[in-house]
Amino acid sequence: MASNNSVKKSSKKDYMIIGGLILILAIVFAGIRLNSYLNADKITKIEVRLKDEVIKEIDLSVDGDYEIEVEHGHLHIRVENEAYYVYDVDCPDKICESVGIVKKGSEKLIVCLPNNIVIVQA
Ligand SMILES: [Zn+2]
Ligand SMILES: [Zn+2]
């Protein structure tokens, strides 16, 4: 009986610890979300990087099409309503195109590994 009681007590305590952890995680995630939402206001452009070098900067407030020469040929970027995506990329795996539209402040990242290209917001 006594041991049964202590098992019940410890499992209740475990639930409280797990509940506490979930709450902390929720607060941390909410903080990250809020942070990226606030930072969205400061973002003005995207940077196309070849390895660590910025090879092109594109103003996100201006809609337009851009063509960039890359290792395997061309990469096209479309900017529309402060969002962007890549298309017609000369890339063997097309993972970069599958990312789709990235909005300002989004944590989505367009990466084209075969061309060593990363597009980041700045
Ligand atoms: Zn082209
Ligand atoms: Zn690619």
93 shares a domain with 61: yes
Which residues fall within 8 angstroms of residue 44, CB to CB, at 6 or more apart? 59, 60, 61, 122
Query: Which ligand ends up closest to the CA of 116?
Result: 2
CA of 91 to the centre of ligand 1 (A): 12
56 shares a domain with 19: no
pLDDT at 40: 82
Q: How far is CA 96 from CA 16, 37, 91, 113, in A?
A: 43, 24, 8, 8
pLDDT at 33: 63
Query: Which ligand ends up closest to the CA of 89?
Result: 2
Q: Dihedral, CA atoms, 14, 18, 21, 22, nearest 10 degrees?
A: -160
55 shares a domain with 34: no
pLDDT at 24: 77
20 shares a domain with 32: yes
Q: What is the pLDDT along the chain (122 residues), one digit of tens a residue?
A: 555 555 566 688 888 887 777 877 777 767 666 666 667 889 999 999 999 899 999 999 999 999 999 999 999 999 999 999 999 999 999 999 999 999 999 989 999 999 999 999 99
Q: Structural domain of residue 24, as residue ranges?
A: 2-40
